[in-house]
């Protein structure tokens, strides 16, 4: 999607995340912590979609929740429209949550089974003092906005299909007219054909409503379709951040290149690069390796001291392409 939507980066970013860390204590007297997020920084401009990708357990969902203060960060700063979210009291935090909402991965678990679709949407409006006497009409408008309709008002979540439940979850998040949506694996629980429908809906809603998305996923094919920029996470850190077309064409970090090598492509087999298979398992976030977090699995690690030091973020190919690697690679990347 990169290049199809104008994003004005001469203005300050809508969301700015700096050195965000979220650590969870491990039970017992050891004092150990799970470093779920360990120094994440990125900016997100109004009207843009940033895809946040990585293997399960890399910290991407925790990052999304910490951005909205659904989880309290251990350290770091999150600024929304120039305001430090860490300084907000309850009243100001409530006002912020009108402007930033989340769509969860599991549409079943995120919907109240005791409320009909209409009641659920009206409740969201009531909580924020919106809609007034028109709440029922507004509920119909929201359902129609996501491809449902008035005939669905009195249905309960168990009476919807999986795709319809996710549409209902999206409608609920849009009820307060937010500017930012954190989309936490919004299509991973759906069938492939339904995934495409929901992704196309999200793209259409962004264009119609001027929304800004933080799109969290592990499916790089889906992320490529919706994102202007992509940030790749590994073991709690962002290892590469670039415009989507740049990253998919010429990723520089060996972890990103390994992920992309597994993405199916319609090119003839003779034109594909070989699949890059990483050795070993992802290290434990309780005891991460020193220096570069990826170096124990890196297929291109060199026998020098550099990889045991934390790599600085550096400009890669072109403006705004950041790579945290001592020995970034070059050349095209093809799917397996």
**Domain locations in the chain?**
15-324
Other Cβ atoms closer than 10 A to 25: 10
State whether residue 296 is helix, strand or coil: coil
Has residue 151 got a pLDDT over 50? yes
Has residue 270 got a pLDDT over 60? no
273 pLDDT tier (thresholds 50, 70, 90): low
pLDDT, one tens digit per residue, over 208-229 is: 999 999 999 998 989 998 999 9
Using CA atoms, how far apart are residues 2 and 245, in angstroms rounded to an integer? 6
Of the ranges 94-103, 128-137, 185-194, the best mean pLDDT one: 94-103
Q: Which residue has the higher pLDDT, 109 or 67?
A: 67
CB-based contact 14:181 (threshold 8 Å): no
- In this structure, what token pair is assigned to residue 171? 């409608």
Using CA atoms, how far apart are residues 240 and 246, in angstroms rounded to an integer? 11
Has residue 5 got a pLDDT over 80? no
Candidates 9, 50, 44; CA nearest to 231 is 50
Range 113-122 average pLDDT: 94
Other Cβ atoms closer than 10 A to 88: 16
Tally of CA atoms within 13 A in the half-sphere of 220 that contains its CB: 25
State whether residue 34 is helix, strand or coil: strand
pLDDT, one tens digit per residue, over 234-257 is: 999 999 999 999 999 989 999 999
Other Cβ atoms closer than 10 A to 81: 16
Cα dihedral 323, 325, 330, 333 sign:
negative
Using CA atoms, how far apart are residues 204 and 167, in angstroms rounded to an integer? 13
Has residue 336 got a pLDDT over 80? no
Has residue 2 got a pLDDT over 50? no
Range 124-142 average pLDDT: 86
Using CA atoms, how far apart are residues 173 and 158, in angstroms rounded to an integer? 19
Phi, psi of 77 (to 5 degrees): -135, 140
Has residue 267 got a pLDDT over 60? no
C-alpha angle 154/157/161, rounded to 5°? 110
Look at the domain 15-324 and name its fold: Rossmann fold (3.40.50)
- Percent of the chain past pLDDT 70, that is, above it, reads 91
Q: Report the range of poorest mean pLDDT among 89-93, 200-204, 260-264.
A: 260-264
Helix axis angle for 135-145 and 117-127, nearest 10°, is: 120
The bridge status of strand 212-217 relative to strand 49-53 is parallel
Candidates 35, 22, 13; CA nearest to 241 is 13
Cα distances from 318 to residues 196, 315, 321, 322, 336, in angstroms, run 31, 7, 6, 9, 26
pLDDT, one tens digit per residue, over 40-76 is: 999 999 999 999 999 888 999 999 999 999 999 999 9
110 pLDDT tier (thresholds 50, 70, 90): confident
302 pLDDT tier (thresholds 50, 70, 90): low
**Given this model, what pLDDT does residue 295 score?**
85
CB-based contact 279:258 (threshold 8 Å): no
**What distance, in Å, lies between the first and last C-alpha atoms of the chain?**
21
């Amino acid at each position: 999607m990169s290049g199809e939507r104008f994003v004005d980066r001469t203005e300050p970013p809508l969301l700015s995340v700096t050195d965000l860390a979220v650590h969870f204590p491990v039970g017992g007297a050891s004092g150990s912590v799970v470093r779920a997020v360990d120094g994440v920084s990125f900016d997100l401009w109004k009207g843009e979609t940033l895809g946040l990708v990585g293997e399960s357990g890399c910290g991407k969902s925790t990052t999304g929740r910490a951005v909205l203060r659904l989880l309290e960060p251990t350290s770091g700063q999150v600024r929304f429209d120039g305001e430090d979210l860490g300084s907000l009291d309850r009243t100001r935090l409530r006002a912020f949550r009108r402007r930033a909402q989340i769509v969860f991965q599991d549409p079943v678990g995120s919907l109240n089974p005791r409320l009909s679709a209409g009641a659920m949407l009206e409740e969201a409006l009531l909580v924020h003092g919106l809609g007034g006497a028109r709440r029922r009409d507004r509920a119909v408008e929201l359902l129609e906005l996501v491809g449902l309709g008035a005939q669905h008002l009195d249905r309960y979540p168990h009476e919807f299909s999986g795709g319809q439940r996710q549409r209902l979850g999206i409608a609920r998040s849009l009820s307060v007219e937010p500017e930012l949506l954190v989309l936490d694996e919004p299509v991973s629980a759906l069938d492939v054909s339904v995934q495409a429908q929901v992704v196309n809906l999200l793209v259409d809603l962004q264009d119609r409503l001027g929304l800004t998305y933080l799109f969290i996923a592990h499916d790089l094919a889906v992320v490529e379709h919706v994102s202007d920029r992509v940030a790749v996470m590994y073991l709690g850190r962002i290892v590469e951040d670039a415009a989507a077309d740049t990253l998919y064409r010429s990723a520089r970090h060996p972890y990103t290149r390994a992920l992309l090598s597994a993405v199916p492509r319609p090119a003839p087999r003779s034109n594909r690069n070989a699949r890059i298979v990483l050795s070993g398992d992802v290290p434990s976030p309780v005891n991460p390796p020193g220096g570069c977090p990826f170096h124990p699995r890196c297929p291109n690690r060199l026998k020098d001291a550099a990889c045991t030091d934390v790599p600085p973020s550096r400009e890669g190919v072109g403006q705004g392409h950041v790579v945290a690697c001592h020995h970034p690679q070059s050349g095209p990347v093809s799917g397996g």
